Amino acid sequence: ARDLFYGLWVPDLFMQRVKADAEWTLFCPNQAFDAETGKGLIDVWGEEFERLYTQMEAAGKGFKTVKAQQLWFRILESQMETGTPYMLYKDHANRKSNQQNLGTIHSSNLCTEIIEYTSPDEVAVCNLASIALNSFASSEGKEYDFEGLYRVTKVATKNLNKVIDRNYY
C-alpha cells in the first residue's frame, strides 16, 4: 500500500537470521505470548525476546515461515521505491533507552526520532514543530536572518510548551 506509512520494529535476531540466510517465523500477536508470564514478543527485547521467540517457534505457534533474506530484500526494495517502511531496531533502542527502568519500549513515533515508554496505563506524546530554515535566507543566499529565526523559534517553543501544559498524559 503506497499511501500508508508503515514502521518496522526490528529485533537483532531477525538481522542475525538475515546474515545467516536462515528462516524467520511470523506470528499472530494474539498467539505470540508466554502463557506462564503473560508476556508477548512485543513486551520483551534482547535475550528475553530471543528466548521467547525460539520457544514459540519450537512450540509451532508461528503461522508462516519465510526466508529472512527474502523478506529483508523485499523491505529494502520497498524503501528504495517508496521511502518506507521506516525502520527502527528494537534491541538497540531498548538497550540505549534512558527509560529502561519503566519497561520495554514498544515503538517510536513514525519518523523514529522520538522513542518513549508506553503501556496500557501510560501514554507517550511527541510534540513537534517545523521551521522552514530556508525562509530566513536572502534570495541571493548571501545573508541569513538570524533575528527572524530567533523570533519564530521563540514563538514555536512557547506554543509547544502551551500544548504540553494543557494536555493530560
Q: How many CA atoms lie within 13 A of 13 on its CB side?
A: 17
Q: Is the pLDDT of residue 11 over 70?
A: yes
Provide the pLDDT for residue 3: 77
Q: Is the pLDDT of residue 31 over 80?
A: yes
Cell of 26: 511470523
Residues 23, 50, 57, 109: which is the catalytic one? 109
Count of Cβ atoms closer than 10 Å to residue 25 Cβ? 19
Provide the pLDDT for residue 154: 98
- Residue ranges per domain, the chain? 7-96, 133-166
Read off the DSSP letter of residue 112.
S
CA 49 – CA 120 distance, rounded (Å): 20
Cell of 69: 533474506
Read off the DSSP letter of residue 37.
T
Helix residue spans in 101-145 (DSSP H): none
Region 90-107: mean pLDDT is 94
111 catalytic per annotation: yes
Q: Is the pLDDT of residue 9 over 90?
A: yes
Pairing of strands 7-10, 23-26: unpaired
Q: Where are the beta strands (DSSP E) in the chain?
A: 7-10, 23-26, 64-67, 86-89
End-to-end alpha-carbon separation of the chain, Å?
A: 32
Higher pLDDT, 1 or 90: 90
Provide the pLDDT for residue 1: 61
pTM over 0.75: yes
Q: Is the pLDDT of residue 166 over 70?
A: yes
Residues 77, 113, 122, 143: which is the catalytic one? 113
Q: Is the pLDDT of residue 142 over 90?
A: no
Provide the pLDDT for residue 141: 74
Helix (H) or strand (E) holding 76: helix 68-82
Q: Is the pLDDT of residue 56 over 70?
A: yes
- pLDDT confidence band for 134 (50 / 70 / 90): very high
Cell of 89: 531496531
109 catalytic per annotation: yes
Residues 47, 77, 111, 159: which is the catalytic one? 111
